[in-house]
Amino acid sequence: MITTTDLTKVYRSRGREVTALDGVDLHVREGEVYGVVGRSGAGKSTLIRCVNLLERPSSGTVTVAGQDLTALAGRGQRANAALRQARSRIGMVFQHFNLLSSRTVRDNIELPLEILGVSGKERTRKALELLDLVGLSAQAKAYPAQLSGGQKQRVGIARALAGDPKVLLSDEATSALDPETTRSILQLLRDLNRQLGLTVLLITHEMDVVKTICDSAALMKGGRVVESGTVSELLATPGSELAAELFPVGGEPSGPDRTVVDVTFHGEAATQPVISQLSRTYNIDISILGAAMDTVAGKQVGRMRIELPGRFEENVVPIGFLREQGLQVEVAAVADAVDSDGLQEAAGLAKDGAQ
């Protein structure tokens, strides 16, 4: 539904160049909720503004619903009209609501329909229908100053849906809201995704947003996408930075001759007593140094950091047992064990032992 290819955006000011996007490739499938995460300055907001061409990319292409939007930019009056028409099928929700204080809630929702030339009667019908959809029927005649932050964002979402878009873009839509309101807005976005078949691309720096509603995610750093995939794929990827951010665990070896491993649980394995089975099977004492569990896409997922007694090479078989149960296992630390070359060799033995 949304594809960017080698997307680049360079800002030039007073002889200086700042590269906000550096060859970004992104693919968002139809009907999914896709989250782009990263620290401030990573290029997230520039990316989402390039998707609907509020920002013109310096190079690369943006394709939405099979239409190359970059091919429509700056190619004459007819092309610009086609670009405006294409944009009308892309809804945008902003961080700070961007509502007009002088217009009522209903009038704010009607604004994009006015621009599209929709008749007054049809505008009113559509606005009231959308207010009902977002749970604000009683606030139709209220003004933005009379609303809470969550209600303002619901108006912003209703306005974004006025043109019956197939794609909804969300730029940090929950970052100005309290946790409870954030959860309600995220649930609304997920409900709209399912009811209307919307494809949702959202920008966020909050990992809880990804865990709550995203089917897929990408991690941005320095204007580049450094990781991407479905959430379940990322959790199963050894060394995934995004998985570690989603489910952070910590802990160091408690003493010499200890092996610390990170275990990722997902699917059916998340509900099985695997650690207690390991302890009973091999008669070993296992220390849990940290754990993070949550529900992602309706399934329990999590990571756990455990400490095994003994050097790494003494734990090849127990680690192989964990992998046989369908768990992702990574060595986090080894106290007084082997050097780096020996560690790699032992890791290979553990993998072979699991097969």
Does residue 147 form part of some domain?
A: yes
Structure tokens given for 300: 């329990």
Does residue 19 have a pLDDT over 70?
yes
Does residue 51 form part of some domain?
A: yes
What does the pLDDT look like over 305-346, one tens digit per residue? Answer: 999 999 888 999 999 999 998 888 888 877 654 444 444 454
Distance CA 189, CA 291 (A): 29
Does residue 287 form part of some domain?
A: yes
Does residue 241 form part of some domain?
A: no
Greatest mean pLDDT among 26-35, 117-126, 205-214 lies in 26-35
Greatest mean pLDDT among 12-16, 87-91, 102-106, 351-355 lies in 102-106
Q: Per-residue confidence at 287, pLDDT binned at 50, 70, 90? A: very high
User: Residue 77's pLDDT is what?
Assistant: 64
Q: How far is CA 310 from CA 49, 251, 334, 335, in A?
A: 53, 17, 9, 9
Q: 286 and 145: one domain?
A: no
What does the pLDDT look like over 157-181, one tens digit per residue? Answer: 999 999 899 999 999 888 878 889 9
Q: Which helix (H) or strand (E) holds 43?
A: none
Round to the nearest angstrom and report the end-to-end CA distance of the chain: 39
To the nearest whole number, what is the mean pLDDT of the chain? 86
Does residue 240 form part of some domain?
A: no
Does residue 173 form part of some domain?
A: yes
Does residue 266 form part of some domain?
A: yes
Q: 178 and 293: one domain?
A: no
Per the structure, the count of domains in the chain is 2
Which residue has better confidence, 336 or 237?
237
What 186-190 contacts at long range (C-beta under 8 Å, 24+ apart), as own/partner pairs, is 186/212, 186/213, 187/213, 188/134, 188/135, 188/154, 188/157, 189/33, 189/157, 189/213, 190/33
How many helices (H) and strands (E) in the chain?
A: 12, 14
Q: 187 and 277: one domain?
A: no
- What length is written for the chain? 355
Q: 304 and 158: one domain?
A: no
Q: 162 and 56: one domain?
A: yes
Q: Region 205-214: what's the mean pLDDT?
A: 87
Q: 321 and 178: one domain?
A: no
Q: Region 53-65: what's the mean pLDDT?
A: 92
Q: Per-residue confidence at 75, pLDDT binned at 50, 70, 90? A: low
User: Residue 72's pLDDT is what?
Assistant: 80
Say whether 165 sits in a helix, a strand or coil: coil
User: Residue 4's pLDDT is what?
Assistant: 95
Does residue 242 form part of some domain?
A: no
Domain end call among 235, 268, 294: 235
User: Residue 266's pLDDT is what?
Assistant: 76
Which residue has better confidence, 111 or 82?
111
What 228-232 contacts at long range (C-beta under 8 Å, 24+ apart), as own/partner pairs, is 228/26, 231/296, 231/297, 231/301, 232/266, 232/267, 232/296, 232/297, 232/301
What does the pLDDT look like over 290-301, one tens digit per residue? Answer: 888 877 766 777
Q: 94 and 148: one domain?
A: yes
CATH number of the domain encompassing residue 134: 3.40.50.300
Q: 32 and 148: one domain?
A: yes
Does residue 239 have a pLDDT over 60?
yes
How many other β-carbons are positioned within 10 Å of the β-carbon of residue 172? 19
Q: 124 and 80: one domain?
A: yes
User: Residue 50's pLDDT is what?
Assistant: 93
Q: 151 and 296: one domain?
A: no
User: Residue 247's pLDDT is what?
Assistant: 81
Q: How far is CA 56 from CA 64, 72, 150, 164, in A?
A: 15, 11, 31, 24
Domain extent for 80: 2-235
Domain end call among 235, 270, 288: 235
Q: 17 and 114: one domain?
A: yes
Q: Region 245-256: what's the mean pLDDT?
A: 82
Domain end call among 207, 235, 263: 235
Q: How far is CA 316 from CA 117, 151, 250, 305, in A?
A: 69, 55, 22, 17
Contact 311, 317 (CB under 8 A): no
CATH number of the domain encompassing residue 283: 3.30.70.260
Q: Per-residue confidence at 350, pLDDT binned at 50, 70, 90? A: very low
Q: What is the DSSP string of 17-40?
A: EEEEEEEEEEEE-TT-EEEEE--T
User: Residue 351's pLDDT is what?
Assistant: 47
Which residue has better confidence, 239 or 10?
10
Q: 170 and 251: one domain?
A: no
Q: Per-residue confidence at 355, pLDDT binned at 50, 70, 90? A: very low
